[in-house]
Structure 1
Amino acid sequence: MSVSPMQEAQRLDVARYLRAGYKLVGNHSAVAVCRWTRSALRGERLCYKSWYGIQSHRCLQMTPVLNFCDFACKFCWRMHLPGRFKLPPGWRWDEPEDIINGSIVAQRLLLIGFKGNPKVSRERFLEAMFPRHFTISLDGEPSLYPKLAELVKKVKERNFTAFLVTNGSIPIRLEELVKRDAQPTNLYLSLYGPNKEVFTATADPRIPNAWENVLRSLELLDRFTESRTVLRLTMVKDLNMVDPEGYSKLIKLGNPMFVELKGYTWVGESQKRLPISAMPTIEELEKFAKKLEELTGYKVKVEDDKSRVVMLVRDEDVWERNLKMVEEWRARVAKLDESWRSKVEDFTMEEHGKILYY
């Protein structure tokens, strides 16, 4: 049976994901293990998200929309093939419960090789087999998944934190999260420009009214009273690392708890679109953050030079609330872990599909 050029492009793109170490889940989801999970397993450095209580070796990084995105950002490491925003004929969306279970199994399969690594303690390996954090990001735009609210809700019911990253292109999906009592633990809204012109040049949206939709999503952030709200600025030199006054107006519009400046990294397909000089240094990020500090009243709180991230916080009350959330979560995890620690003496591959509910 012949295939269309679009179907062939999608097949080749999925093959690239598999070569990159992704594990496919169901029809449209995937899991991948990031460098910080591997580092944490070996007892080394953690991801900068430890600021919010994330234990990197217990973080499950996944997407419910592999290869579907409504933006074609210039800094993205992925290929921008035709069809990344089009569903094939006869498409069927998987159920949230199946995605969660499949993701846990996929994570375990990806990490099972660490069991024999002399640098990985048995205790830390077992903790990794029982993840506590679902990061809904990795690839594509999660809000394209129509059952996102149900997915977030079930993730939290299963005793995970839920970190959701969105480009803000579908504000109605954010409204659903609030209306259906499905607020994620952390809601990241990625902002790709200080004004419509720069935003369009950077994000290259494939939908109409993308800028207006992002503004609407910013306005919705204040309704997420149970979430940490984070505005993420991916900074690319000579592209969108401009006009701090414009960014400051958008920060005030969204009123997020935190603002993160994340430096672009010259990797993957983005190397064909941008020069290596587009990567800002940590010093350049600090300088830009200081300008935002002066314009918004937000204060630079912490930074991570390895990941090139600078975080600003709205005020000290917000920071204290964050620390309290971290402390409460750690206490809860310690109690939850007692259940599987008392049952699992030697985690084997045969058991990986048996212990999903905990």
Structure 2
Amino acid sequence: MDAMRVSQLPEELLYLWHTHRTEVLLTAGLLFAIARLAVHWRKRTSKQIWTPLALTPTSEKLLPIPSAKEQLAVADHYEAPLLKPATRPKPGPKRVTGTRRAKPVGSKIDGSEAITCIQPLIFYYTLGGSTKAYADKLAASFTASATQSVLAPEVLDLAETEYDDYFLNSPKKTGTAYFYLLLLPTYNIDTNLSAFLANLDETHHDFRIDTAPLSGLAGYSVFGVGDKQEWPTEQDGFCTQAVEADRWMAKLTGRKRGFPMGTGDVRSDLEARLEEWTAGVGSVMSDLAEGRGLGEGVAGSGDAVESADEEDADEQDDVTETATTKSRRKPIKRSRTDDLEDMKAPIPVDFTTTFKTSSSTIPAPPKPMVPESSPTYTSLTKQGYTIVGSHSGVKICRWTKSALRGRGSCYKYSFYGIASHLCMEATPSLSCSNKCVFCWRHGTNPVGTTWRWTVDPPDLIFAGMKEGHYKKIKMLKGVPGVRAERFSEAMRIRHCALSLVGEPIFYPHINELLAMLHREHISSFLVCNAQHPDQLATLGPVTQLYVSIDASNKDSLRRIDRPLHRDFWERFCRCMDILRQKRFTHRTVFRLTLVKGFNIDEEAEGYADLVERALPGFVEVKGVTYCGTSTAAGAGLSMQNVPFYDEVRTFVLALEAALLRRGLDYGIGAEHAHSCCILLADRQRFFKPSATSGDGVARWHTLIDYAAFFRNLESGAPFGPEDYVGAPTPEWALWGAGGFDPRDERVDRKGRPKVVEVA
């Protein structure tokens, strides 16, 4: 019996194994995992070693392993801070505390010690000695005006200078920052100047040398000496070696161009241009000595480096990226501003039946239109505006930078003779009574039908506009390609376009502000939206009066301008009648902005009716400019609404024909294809023989004689637009010629010359 049980035991064990093997395996695995975790936790919680003490083999002491920070403290021989006992961190986000370091007194250059004086170094190169004479003359000028902060200059001949001493690293002297001035002629033969330029090239591309080894300089500026008789343009060779030196110095200094590169023709204007450049460089060095620094471009108007002037596609990694350029590339989180048009007006309440006089019925005092703490102020300043007072503003136009760089002025130069770098764009009222679909400032500028804000005095506005404009112009001195002579000219405002944003005529003291402009011989171009007939009727003298005519009928005007006034069409028609009366005292202009899908198709006849009603002196027809913002898309505008120039030409020809059918003799006086803008003018008033030519041939006279305007204004006698008609419209601005200034060069988005075929 026992033998039988023994024989059955393996079978029972095998049966039990097959029956419960899953539970057995899971239990074994669980026990093994618990054992491994226990060993692991024990190692983590007891990071310590046992070290026997001397002469006491039986007693032992725990010694903690020194941390990495303590080991570094011993290795680097510095006094490590006392270790605090470990405490359990509190739940929640980590709080970072610290103290703000105070900035040392005095200006700094590239993060070095405080600077107390500027040391100019004048480098020149010459073969015949003429450039040396100009360098000595420049040094004498700076020596005569030397101060404790701007020292007398040193003159160095590049042919006798060791390049590594000055162009491999910037000179170092305690409390002194160096400013390089380079006077360079241009030769079409091999000279040491070519070796100097090659050295700058090699220094920039040498991987062993820092990308911007001359960043310790306070700044630099280059003046080129050339001959326009032999080499008329830069493409032909005029001052090309100076241009190349300016480009390499910009890379080696980390874009520290202190003043725009100057150029002079040895056969005509060299001494005058050198004198202008000297005055500009002197003012920059004075600013540096006072700690004002160099300008790096204007926010909202493009960075200092653009159009690949100093950043080629294959050299993106070679240019030092400063903290300011990094901050510009960060996406800006714009403050949200409510659309005031969508806010419902409060229900009117009649207080005439009130028996008691309550303090609640007293109207609240007026508030600033754009207070500094408002999202509107933040949004506008981020877009590049300088807010003047509580309701005015000034901003640099993109055409100003274009004109400073010799890349063309806006249509006002072709039509009326206004150079963009002499023009200030401003407004005394940021508020408007329309919300046009093509407006660039959707949701940022305030809107309203009546003036309900505080009113700043006109002298405060005028002074603030000039100060803000000049400050922005000075910040453009480091922009690549800025011409020194135009930069100097831009420091004297000659024209003011009151058309920035909002409604300038809305300002209660607009006539006083215009008088202040005219007293300083600054011409005035005022733009209104034909929604304020009372202010238009009382408007005083103005050089040119614009009225925006964005639609030819009531329904189109409602869709395009989206006016806030309920009687907007009646106001619009009253303004047309007032313009008809003012055509003998004011130079009036209709401004038509064409938006495809809104006001182009079959509306030439309607516009002709409005011209017949108001009889303006000029009619400007311009294609809309798409700003590319989400707000514009929300208003129903996209790139498909931007007409091509051929479509604008077709519309203008149709409008001209419609005017002729009504017996109105308007003709095409000028065009500016670059702005997609064409000018129609009254032929009887502005197409006549020139008094200066004497040939009796009739020509268009769309330009303005600004000196004559101020003479007539100061005489006190009545005068009209015909009394300050200027010279004949230049041939290059006439219909079919394109309208681009031949003195300048049209470029594409990459800064390359652009050839445009004119039909």
Same fold (TM over 0.5): yes
In structure 2, do the counterparts of structure 1 residues 330 and 33 end up closer, same or farther at CA, with 3 Å as the change threshold?
farther
In structure 2, do the counterparts of structure 1 residues 330 and 38 end up closer, same or farther at CA, with 3 Å as the change threshold?
farther
Which of 285, 297, 312 is the matching residue for 2:648?
A: 285
Which residue is equivalent to 2:293?
Answer: none
Which of 209, 213, 226 is the matching residue for 2:571?
A: 213
Structure 1: which amino acid aligns with 2:448? F
Which residue is equivalent to 2:623?
Answer: 263
State the Cα RMSD in Å. 2.7
Which residue is equivalent to 1:108?
Answer: 470
Q: Deviations for 1:37-73, whole angstroms, at most 9, x for unmatched residues?
A: 101111220110011121100100001112x110111
What secondary structure sits across from 1:310 in the alignment?
A: strand
Structure 2: which amino acid aligns with 1:265? T
In structure 2, do the counterparts of structure 1 residues 10 and 259 end up closer, same or farther at CA, with 3 Å as the change threshold?
farther
What secondary structure sits across from 2:538 in the alignment?
A: helix
**TM-fit CA distance, 1:114:** 2.5
Higher relative contact order (CA 8 A, sep 6+): 1
In 1, Cα distance between equivalents of 2:405 and 2:647: 31
Greater alpha carbon shift after TM alignment, 152-161 vs 101-110? 152-161
In 1, Cα distance between equivalents of 2:432 and 2:531: 10
Which residue is equivalent to 1:228?
Answer: 587
Q: Number of paired residues?
A: 324
Structure 1's unaligned 5+ residue stretches are 334-358
Which of 646, 658, 661 is the matching residue for 1:295?
A: 658
In 1, Cα distance between equivalents of 2:701 and 2:501: 29
What secondary structure sits across from 2:435 in the alignment?
A: coil
Structure 2: which amino acid aligns with 1:158? E
**TM-fit CA distance, 1:14:** 2.4
Which residue is equivalent to 1:30?
Answer: 393
Q: Deviations for 1:325-353, whole angstroms, at most 9, x for unmatched residues?
A: 634549989xxxxxxxxxxxxxxxxxxxx
**TM-fit CA distance, 1:93:** 0.9
Identity in percent: 33
Q: Deviations for 1:134-158, whole angstroms, at most 9, x for unmatched residues?
A: 1111111112111112212221122
Which of 301, 311, 328 is the matching residue for 2:679?
A: 311
In 1, Cα distance between equivalents of 2:500 and 2:610: 25
Which residue is equivalent to 1:144?
Answer: 506
Q: Contact 1:169/1:214 (CA < 8 Å) preserved in 2?
A: yes
Greater alpha carbon shift after TM alignment, 206-215 vs 249-258? 206-215
What secondary structure sits across from 1:213 in the alignment?
A: helix
Q: How does 1:146-225 map to 2 (within 5 A)?
A: 146-177=508-539, 182-222=540-580, 223-225=582-584
In structure 2, do the counterparts of structure 1 residues 112 and 75 end up closer, same or farther at CA, with 3 Å as the change threshold?
same
Structure 1: which amino acid aligns with 2:609? K
Q: Contact 1:23/1:110 (CA < 8 Å) preserved in 2?
A: no
Q: Contact 1:185/1:226 (CA < 8 Å) preserved in 2?
A: no
Which residue is equivalent to 1:253?
Answer: 613
In 2, Cα distance between equivalents of 1:117 and 1:197: 46
Which residue is equivalent to 2:402?
Answer: 39
Greater alpha carbon shift after TM alignment, 158-167 vs 6-15? 6-15
Which residue is equivalent to 1:326?
Answer: 704
In structure 2, do the counterparts of structure 1 residues 260 and 331 end up closer, same or farther at CA, with 3 Å as the change threshold?
closer
Structure 1: which amino acid aligns with 2:375? L
TM-score (norm 1): 0.83
What secondary structure sits across from 1:326 in the alignment?
A: coil
Structure 1: which amino acid aligns with 2:668? V
In 1, Cα distance between equivalents of 2:669 and 2:544: 18
In structure 2, do the counterparts of structure 1 residues 290 and 130 end up closer, same or farther at CA, with 3 Å as the change threshold?
same
In structure 2, do the counterparts of structure 1 residues 324 and 282 end up closer, same or farther at CA, with 3 Å as the change threshold?
closer
In 1, Cα distance between equivalents of 2:489 and 2:585: 27
Question: Does the alignment pair 1:13 with 2:403?
Answer: no
Q: How does 1:81-100 map to 2 (within 5 A)?
A: 83-85=446-448, 91-100=453-462
Question: Does the alignment pair 1:238 with 2:601?
Answer: no
**TM-fit CA distance, 1:86:** 7.0
**TM-fit CA distance, 1:100:** 1.2
**TM-fit CA distance, 1:87:** 7.7
Question: Does the alignment pair 1:54 with 2:418?
Answer: yes
In 1, Cα distance between equivalents of 2:645 and 2:467: 37
In structure 2, do the counterparts of structure 1 residues 82 and 318 end up closer, same or farther at CA, with 3 Å as the change threshold?
closer
In 1, Cα distance between equivalents of 2:423 and 2:608: 32
In 1, Cα distance between equivalents of 2:531 and 2:434: 9
Q: Deviations for 1:228-258, whole angstroms, at most 9, x for unmatched residues?
A: 2110111111112232111100011110111
In structure 2, do the counterparts of structure 1 residues 58 and 237 end up closer, same or farther at CA, with 3 Å as the change threshold?
same
Specify the structure having the higher radius of gyration (Cα): 2
Which residue is equivalent to 2:221?
Answer: none
Q: Contact 1:183/1:224 (CA < 8 Å) preserved in 2?
A: no
In 2, Cα distance between equivalents of 1:256 and 1:289: 16
Greater alpha carbon shift after TM alignment, 138-147 vs 149-158? 149-158
In 2, Cα distance between equivalents of 1:130 and 1:8: 30
Structure 2's unaligned 5+ residue stretches are 1-336, 341-369, 661-665, 691-699, 712-759
Structure 1: which amino acid aligns with 2:528? T
Q: Deviations for 1:141-185, whole angstroms, at most 9, x for unmatched residues?
A: 1121111122122211221100000001001111111xxxx2211
Structure 1: which amino acid aligns with 2:572? V
Q: Deviations for 1:160-214, whole angstroms, at most 9, x for unmatched residues?
A: 100000001001111111xxxx221110100121111111111111012111111
Which of 415, 429, 435 is the matching residue for 1:65?
A: 429
In structure 2, do the counterparts of structure 1 residues 304 and 82 end up closer, same or farther at CA, with 3 Å as the change threshold?
closer
TM-score (norm 2): 0.40
**TM-fit CA distance, 1:95:** 1.4
In 2, Cα distance between equivalents of 1:264 and 1:271: 14
What secondary structure sits across from 1:239 in the alignment?
A: coil
